[in-house]
Amino acid sequence: MELGSADAFDRMGTLGVEEEFYIVDADGRPTSGIDDLVYGPEPPEPLAGRLDHELFQFTIETQTPLIEDPDEAGAAISTVREALVDHAADHGYRIAAAGLHPAAKWRELDHATKPRYQAQLDRIQYPQHRNTTAGLHVHVGVDDADKAVWVANELRWYLAPLLALSANSPFWNGFDTGLASARAKVFENLPNTGMPTAFDDFEEFQRFERRMVEYGSIDDRGELWYDVRPHTGHGTVEIRTPDAQTDPERVADFVEYVHALVLDLADRYESGESGTSVRRELLDENKWRATRYGRDTDFIAPDSEGVVSLETFVETESDRLGVDGLRSLLDAESGTAVQRRIHEESGLDALCEHLTLD
């Protein structure tokens, strides 16, 4: 039974970034490449030991080395991406990045044969068979297990604005879904996803984690795919909400804010602040607004009294935490808008080319 421990939570403020990408051919269309890129010769640094794949043979995941200094996060992200692009090119492939690949049709794509994924396919069936999603996951180290659970609880309200800013997946299975982040809704069809409830403390969370494994609901703790979770193996709080990003600078902007927010919440926990109580249904509603409308929406406030616009959220959080990335994200054209514009003006071929990394 693979379970973590409270002892894993022993460092505050470290960073790790996981990005999911698509392996594509010369024309930017999905192709099976994990046998070469993951199971072939050992990839070069910094990918060695930090390169894996997901459910489909055209999906691949990178992990940055442990980042001690948040100011070095942008460089680490770019270095890993450049290494992946070069590694893929050496084997005749290209790499694309988006929450969903617009040309990917799940019925036509090969699943990975790794036993872990075959077990998921057997257990989950249809929702997992069509799960062609790619996300951005940000880990921030927390030095106490109960603190990590409290921080994860508090983070839940902030996830919908983050999803709205990251929305980069209007197309799925070859058509425009009308959603800003179709990835969020496709992924949410799986069990153990979406907005988690609050946990009183680490003991309660670990008891839940253990029971899910013992009762056969999941094979290991890694299959708790909620939008935010205390990671009992890495000793981090992990935010899993954002769509994968085409532009590495946008990834760095998200990382800057998430890191600052987690540290702020950790300080508030240390000062004895009581946690907020927000109904799960309202959190789900906020996430739906972000999924459907992206930036063109507002969010029910944490106290349920009134709404908060995305612009107000960005300005308030940027000033409160002293970060710049949120404003950069808001000022730039959204990934969803860019994809729709390119598709309308130039067609699917041009869009596939746009999503490939240089």
Does a structural domain hold residue 139?
yes
Does a structural domain hold residue 23?
yes
Interior angle at CA 176, CA 174 and CA 180, nearest 5: 125
Q: 318: which 2 tokens?
A: 């940027």
Does a structural domain hold residue 307?
yes
Does a structural domain hold residue 54?
yes
Does a structural domain hold residue 1?
no
**Cβ-based burial of 159 (10 A; exposed 0-12, middle 13-18, buried ≥19):** buried
- What CATH number is attached to the domain comprising 24? 3.30.590.20
Contact 299, 308 (CB under 8 A): yes
Q: Give the global pTM.
A: 0.97
116-167: pLDDT as tens digits: 999 999 999 999 999 999 999 999 999 999 999 999 999 999 999 999 999 9
CB atoms near residue 139 (< 10 Å): 26
Domain extent for 165: 6-357
Does a structural domain hold residue 288?
yes
Does a structural domain hold residue 167?
yes
Q: 63: which 2 tokens?
A: 């992990």
Check residue 2 and give its pLDDT: 61
Number of domains observed in the structure of the chain: 1
Does a structural domain hold residue 196?
yes
301-328: pLDDT as tens digits: 999 999 999 999 999 999 999 999 999 9
240-257: pLDDT as tens digits: 999 999 999 999 999 999
